[in-house]
Amino acid sequence: MTNLKTLNARTETLLRASTQVDKAIAHHLCEIAKHVNGKGNGDVSAVNYFWSILTAGGKSGLRHDAIGNWLIAFCGVTWNAEKKRYNRKKDFTFDLRAAEESPWYTFTKQSAFKPFDLDKALAALIKRANAALEDAEHAKEHKVNKDMLKRIEALLDPKALPKTAEVAETSNEDTDTDAEVTEAPEAQAA
């Protein structure tokens, strides 16, 4: 069994090696970008070869999404999903300095589309505001107008909706034009 000192030393060695590999790949990608945008005169075969080796058999532990996004941003290529290969991007201005200052490993995965849900967003906002009010340790840093929060909560309370609004929002039936229409509570009080 390996002792703790050996395990810790190996951890440090592997992490240093990993950092060096990331930097070497970043340098290599810049060389590929220089080829595509310089001597290669638009030849993207080096990009496609790199990509084919990277994605072959799913064995690479590298973040394909980050490398792909870097290639699109700095190499002057676009992804052709139908042919599963990169093509040269028209009207691309190559900036080596920007490419070198933004290595592939700083790129993040593109977020998948998430539909917006207003009800959930407002509920989350109210929950955060109430949590901030309860946070005694940071009370002075939080800025939550209690009166405004109460008004928002009242506005969003389904029990506070007028009966006509509930019917209009939830009913799929045809409305009877001779039926009596009830006014909202505020209108009755006037």
17 and 73 belong to one structural domain: yes
101 and 151 belong to one structural domain: no
Domain boundary, last residue among 54, 80, 106: 106
Pairwise pLDDT comparison (76 vs 60), residue with the higher score = 76
With respect to residue 190, please indicate whether it lies within any of the assigned structural domains.
no
101 and 77 belong to one structural domain: yes
Pairwise pLDDT comparison (115 vs 59), residue with the higher score = 115
Pairwise pLDDT comparison (90 vs 78), residue with the higher score = 78
pLDDT exceeds cutoff 70 at 73: yes
Task: Map the chain to HEC letters.
Answer: CCCHHHHHHHHHHHHHHHHHHHHHHHHHHHHHHHHHHCCCCCCCHHHHHHHHHHHHHHCCCCCHHHHHHHHHHHHCEEEECCCCEEEECCCCCCCHHHHHHCCHHHCCCCCCCCCCCHHHHHHHHHHHHHHHHHCHHHCCCCCCCHHHHHHHHHHHCHHHCCHHHHHHHHCCCCCCCCCCCCCCHHHHHC
77 and 136 belong to one structural domain: no
**Cα 118 from Cα 11, distance rounded (Å):** 46
**Interval 34-54 mean pLDDT:** 88
pLDDT category of residue 42 using cuts at 50, 70 and 90:
confident
Residue 72 pLDDT: 93
48 and 96 belong to one structural domain: yes
With respect to residue 186, please indicate whether it lies within any of the assigned structural domains.
no
pLDDT exceeds cutoff 90 at 154: no
Percent of the residues in the chain that have a pLDDT greater than 90, as a whole number: 36
Residue range of the domain that includes 131 = 118-173
Q: Does the global pTM surpass 0.75?
A: no
* Number of domains forming the structure of the chain: 2
Domain boundary, last residue among 74, 106, 138: 106
92 and 26 belong to one structural domain: yes
